Chain A
């Protein structure tokens, strides 16, 4: 017996779901969805869970993460219940529920708090970064107030909290997924399941089955404009930049020759990241489809952060390459560092976290052999 929790629906609304109460359970959304597999039954079943407040059903499901929130279902919903947006809201809800601090809940649900939090963080980071330059006035002043060791240790603590949060979140999700065994179905091996996960990340094979409907907005658009490719660009752009940064960090001092492979990788990845995030922001500002029109501020800011990080990073790259010394460069580097730090620090507490949750869900999905064939 599961107790119905009627208050849950309004809770989900705070994460950005609009009129999903209008749903009358026809199941058009599930029928139209290219991703819902044999027994998966989303989005309809998830709307049901939301209406009745069956929280555990949501949190222990891998199906939730099979959805890319493309919005096909919102287009065909006869009741304008926007199941696509609802699924996106559930992603936020899950991210907020998995991590232990409760910070994500506050940030996702409260617009003002979110703006305040990110601004203060940027300010603190900015001040801190100024202090790293001995020729700045602030440094003398701040070290008088707080000893260097304290600042250094505080930084370590914050990074640890962030790291622990995402590990805790993953563990949380992992235990729930494990508890949710679907029958005695034959399982695929771990290795082949991970292979499938990487295959999906590399090719976006599943994402490509979205937006195939005859009257879909994306149907006749060229591949490079389609959401799956944009998503691919952002994802691999970011991973590429991360790899380049790590290579730089491990192999040499930064800001040296441009012929180093890490350099090429970084440049290429940066271009993809800027292209992808620009397109996403463009679609959002143009409200290309309903799923772009209705988004959450935290998600938007996350995207802006990615774009700014990409753009400022690229600017620095160009400046170094052409030895182009502009007085603004200093500040641009500052902005780049602040935003990058925020992205990393908020990893567990923002949309960014889906980058680890989705692969884990996909792994369990492929392992249980529920694929679409």
Chain B
């Protein structure tokens, strides 16, 4: 192999190594665990105190409480099956943050079992299909004027006799 070629291979290799090192070192310092509420309970909550953590679950109906003095302080609970996690959050909540909605909270778990979220994400509008399967109204869908309280489930999923 000619010397020039070796020189370039070494040069390219060094660049790749540098980028690889940058990726490797950063990924450890910035990564967060991602799990659902049940997984968190299952893995043992005490293993994750003060670790970067992202938790997914559905907002428990009626659990959203805002501080009357400062509506930016929000406390709520999220659940999956029977596992429940208390969350506190300070900040603006997304428009789609609502009872029953799926949310992902990112933050840290305190030793009293309360999750201190610094970001709160709700699922995006294009996530229609799963909710349709569950027979739920999409939180963003327009109101229906054709009949009083007509259920907006996919007619496919209903037995024909009911329609």
A and B associate = no
Q: Chain B residues in contact with chain A, CB under 8 A?
A: none
